[in-house]
Chains A and B, each alone.
Chain A
């Protein structure tokens, strides 16, 4: 029960942060990716602001094996820089640049009742499913 409650609460706070940061607006993200014309550095401040909070806490909690609710902590173990990481991130970057939406803002934009967001999300699901079968 508690895990569900805190998942919901974390999602709500994350969503509020995304809206305040302006990243739910694709135009704003394109502004960041547009290095040569009217560059908008805001996205760096969003990531920086988040990392200022998370980095010290992750450092303090790095040896914990259980969460405060007693759930096993499972962190990514992979260390190698493989082809899949580079190819996948490059493809993600192309999609990000084509629209200006990444998964978080795409989901949060449902709150804006934009039909284009749903088209984006359905295509995203098809990409996820295809990756599972290749």
Chain B
């Protein structure tokens, strides 16, 4: 596990937790990002505050990189075809299953929702199987 970065992961996670709480405490909404993103596209309800949340998701990293001068790491090893299929399945799957890593994985689990626990275990196992299969075909290392 030479890439393992427990400290930055934990600190990042704690900060994400604070954001979820601030969002819930003030707006009364759960910070499930796939849900917020989809509602901006498909519904008019509270659209401007939802859009501002998504803009914040981009401004945050911009500020971070601007002030820390840290190089941004972004490595994607896949072909465009797989990226298009992957994006499509993430959009379809998160809406059908009612949440993603933030909505089910963080908000749902911390609210002790059985549905979210089952969903999180399901998408982690399915993601692991997918990566395993791609490794057998030599697409991933």
Which residues on A are within 8 Å of B, measured CB to CB? 2-28, 30-31, 33-55, 57-58, 61-62, 66-69, 71-76, 78-81, 84-104, 106-112, 114, 116, 119-132
Per the bound structure, the CA–CA distance linking A112 and B60 in Å amounts to 11
CB-defined A-B contacts under 8 Å, sample of 5: A10-B31, A28-B3, A34-B131, A47-B105, A89-B97
Per the bound structure, the CA–CA distance linking A116 and B77 in Å amounts to 11
Q: Are B82 and A98 in contact (CB under 8 A)?
A: yes
Q: Are B131 and A85 in contact (CB under 8 A)?
A: no
Q: Are B107 and A2 in contact (CB under 8 A)?
A: no
Within 8 Å by CB of A71, from B28, B60, B97, lies: B28
Q: A15-B61, A99-B76, A125-B91 are in contact. Are A31 and B3 (CB under 8 A)?
A: yes
The DSSP consensus for interface residues of chain A is helix
Q: Which B residues from 26 to 83 make CB contacts under 8 A with A? A: 26-31, 33-34, 37-38, 41-42, 46, 48-50, 52-65, 72-78, 80, 82-83
Q: A15-B56, A89-B104, A108-B58 are in contact. Are A42 and B17 (CB under 8 A)?
A: no
Per the bound structure, the CA–CA distance linking A15 and B77 in Å amounts to 23
- A126 to chain B minimum Cβ distance, whole angstroms, is 6
When C-beta atoms are compared, the residue in chain A nearest to B107 turns out to be: A54
- B10 to chain A minimum Cβ distance, whole angstroms, is 4
Given contacts A13-B15, A92-B89, 11 further A-B contacts (CB under 8 A): A14-B57, A40-B4, A46-B16, A95-B85, A97-B127, A97-B134, A102-B100, A107-B37, A112-B74, A126-B88, A130-B92
